Amino acid sequence: MIYTQWTKKALALCFEAHKNQTDKTGLPYVFHPFHLAEQMEDETSTVVALLHDVVEDTDYTLEDLQKMGFSSQVIDALALLTHDPVVPYMDYVFQIKSNPVARRVKLADLAHNSDLSRLDQVDEAATGRVHKYEAAIRLLNEE
């Protein structure tokens, strides 16, 4: 993990935003963004990894994050990573391709979400999600 003023601010916000959430196995959800952040190599992608689900899964907005002082590069990537449910999933993924930071974080997100060893039970829904994520990974890796 890269520790800077902004990554520490993002760590604290990530924890606060997700502290009462759990993943599909009942583990604290915050482990997921922490796992992604550990894979990033620069400040901006680390911050984006930590905050990638904050707007989508909590009451925080992009405007809130902007008021907190996060950079426009962070806000732009987070805007792309926040899936509007009216936008078809693969259209959403295609838009992410345009931003190298958002793309890097989404690829890490998809890889982690595709790891079926995280689940206590692998059912049809889980395998269906993995197939969707594999298609998204292919799309993000296309030239």
- Annotated active-site residue in 16, 42, 57, 63: 57
Q: Report in angstroms the alpha-carbon separations of 29 from 101, 111, 143.
A: 22, 16, 33
Q: Pick from 80, 108, 109, 110: which is nearest to 96 by CA?
A: 80
Amino acid letter, residue 27: L
Q: How far apart are CA 29 and CA 51, in angstroms?
A: 12
The active-site residue, picked from 56, 63, 115, 134, is 56
Coil, strand or helix at 22: strand
User: Phi and psi for 77 in degrees, rounded to 5?
Assistant: -65, -45
Q: Which residue has the tokens 């269906």?
A: 128
Does 57 participate in catalysis according to the annotation? Answer: yes
* Catalytic site positions: 56-57
